[in-house]
Homo-oligomer: A and B are copies of this chain.
Amino acid sequence: MLKVAVIGAGRIGQIHAGNIAAHPQCQLVKVTDVYAPAATALAEKLGAQVATLDEILGDASIDLVAICSATDTHADLIEAAARAKKAIFCEKPVDLSLERVRRCLATVREHNVPLMVGFNRRFDPSMAQLRESLRAGEIGATEIVTISSRDPGAPSPEYVKTSGGLFRDMTIHDFDMARWLLDEEPVSVFASAAALVDEKIGAAGDVDTAVVTLTCASGKMAVITNSRRASYGYDQRIEVHGSEGMLAVVNHPETSLVKSVATGVIAQKPMHFFLQRYGDAYRNELAAFIDQLSKGTAIAPGGEDGLQALLLADAALESLKTGKPVAPGAL
């Protein structure tokens, strides 16, 4: 039985805490949050204790910490947990700064603790089956990966200012999926983007609509289309074109009701909320980490996956600034 503490009791912390409590090999023992009532409510609901960060890190009986706090605390908390010899699950991203990520991962390596970075989409049953099918050669060799990833609605310009920008905040998930499905590191990134959804996002120096092309040395390509606003729900589709066929993950409708009337045959919209669409993914993500820990196998996605995705995001940003394709930096 692994003893687990959760750092951060907000929306995503609640999801992870619930999954930890329900996992047969985990016991949720402690919860902390800078906002005490959130920690208290979550701890009570799941039969855990409220604690301070120091009490968690100082408690030798705790095996694993799940970092679900604000993005700008991630790197510090990973380092602190590494020094305390905990296994670490951290929500993406490790940090918005490449340099900070590199330093943080060095600390993790130094203390030799397992670290999983929360690229949850890899654990969505449909996405996971897509990759298994690819690896099993069901469509031959991969040639073009097409990712349509569009949020149901745009964030506030305030959020945008601290988000690191579209590529580091939102596309980063798609960069991870592209790498995972291409099975080869892109050597070139070209981004075309604009603020078409909300001019305030443009005024804040960011974009909200983008097309990004990734090219590999072998000639394999990936193309990502992003929008901060899809009026019809959370649009999350991936398609892989291979030498012997095509694999596609389509959207998940809210229900399976279909209405045929004079205006058409109307199916339900895609699920609107990422916690609903990826509920299974969060559950499976935790289970995979526990499974990797118990088997002693390599942790995936690990810190370097976080870094690689950030390198692609930074290359996309540079491409957007220069108007040219950019080679992503090295690890």
Q: Which residues of A contact B (CB under 8 A)?
A: 24, 45, 47, 125-126, 129-130, 133, 138-141, 143-144, 146, 148, 150, 188, 190, 192, 194-197, 209, 211, 213, 215, 218-221, 223, 225, 227, 229-233, 235, 239, 241, 243-270, 323-325
Which of A249, A250, A258: most chain B CB closer than 10 A? A258
Complexed CA–CA distance, A211 and B186 (Å): 14
Chain B residues positioned under 8 Å from A247 (CB to CB):
257-260
A126-B256, A259-B133 known; A211+B144 contact, CB < 8 A: yes
Which residue of chain B has its CB nearest to the CB of A222?
B211
**Contacting pair B192 A227 (CB below 8 A):** no
A133-B259, A196-B143 known; A190+B250 contact, CB < 8 A: no
**Contacting pair B220 A223 (CB below 8 A):** no
**Contacting pair A133 B241 (CB below 8 A):** no
Chain B residues positioned under 8 Å from A235 (CB to CB):
246, 260
**Contacting pair B259 A196 (CB below 8 A):** no
A213-B192, A268-B264, A269-B265 known; A230+B241 contact, CB < 8 A: yes
Nearest first, the 7 closest Cβ-Cβ pairs linking A and B are: A194-B219, A245-B261, A232-B260, A126-B255, A246-B260, A264-B266, A126-B256
* B188, B230, B246, B255: the one within 8 Å of A192 (CB): B188
Which of A247, A256, A270: most chain B CB closer than 10 A? A256
Which of A45, A148, A245, A323: most chain B CB closer than 10 A? A245
Complexed CA–CA distance, A330 and B24 (Å): 49
A148-B146, A225-B223, A247-B259 known; A267+B264 contact, CB < 8 A: yes
**Contacting pair A268 B265 (CB below 8 A):** yes
